[in-house]
Amino acid sequence: MNSYKEFEYQLSQFSDNELYDIAKSCLLLFASSNYKNQKKIELIYSECQKRNKKIYEKAMNDAFLTNFPSQDNFSESSRLNIQRIDFMSESEINFLVNLISKSSKKGGMNIAPASNLSIYKLLGVPKEHLLLFKVTGDSMIDDGINDGDLVVADKRVQIVNKKLVIVEYAGELFIKRIIINKGIFWLISANEKIKPFQLKDRDEIKIIARVKNLIKILQ
């Protein structure tokens, strides 16, 4: 079995969520010029088309959002890597439920036992509005949000003063607290080393979602 046939077989054995993960990883590498194996990209695309076209579409969109570096004080901020629940199997969702249930005991979420709740009730957001993000960096450490934590967000965005939001800026995603003072919008980190960011033009930044819960990942 040649390497491409073997890779094609491996793809066929992946769960939808695993296929999404490898698609996003390869597309990220491809976009950053560190991965130029067009054949493997084509095989991933083909497998996604067989199962669910949205797997590749979401992987490509999410890879784009996490790929391009910013050039200002946001570069020191907590970046976010999208974690999807859309393509998880029942066993993968059960694993996540158990992880969240254990994490809640460490102060991340205040929830009832996992066995009594669906994953969406557990996370507090309906499926069609749910986004999960993995935090990278320490810009929100004073709010108890650390590197590796999972942030649960709701796409039904309502801009509320002093609340945590997910923002897209310069092609990247960040978690920030939004402050509105005399009609001026500020994005605030929870780390004294990082200066507040004033929005001179409201359109220069896109608010993706509002933060609803935090999942602490146990090591």
Residues 52-73 pLDDT 10s? 999 998 888 777 765 544 444 5
Query: Can you tell me the distance from the alpha carbon of 50 to that of 52, in angstroms, rounded to the nearest whole number?
Result: 6
The helix/strand/coil state of 134 is: strand
Cα of first residue to Cα of last residue in the chain, in angstroms, is 38
Q: Is the dihedral of CA 184, 195, 204, 61 positive or negative?
A: negative
* Tokens representing residue 83 in the block: 């974690």
Rounded to 10°, the helix 3-13/38-51 angle is 30
Stretch 19-30: mean pLDDT, rounded?
Answer: 86
Mean pLDDT of the chain: 77
Domains of the chain, each with CATH number or no CATH:
3-65 (no CATH), 73-215 (2.10.109.10)
Q: Inform me whether the pLDDT recorded for 115 exceeds 80.
A: no
The predicted model scores a pTM of 0.60
**Residue 206, strand partner residues:** 168
| Rounded Cα–Cα distance for residues 104 and 110 (Å) | 6
Structure tokens at 69: 């570096």
Whole-angstrom distance, CA of residue 100 vs CA of residue 119: 9
Per-residue pLDDT of 148-161, as tens digits, reads 888 888 988 777 78
Please give the structure tokens belonging to residue 18.
Answer: 């695993």
- State which H helix or E strand residue 131 sits in: strand 130-136
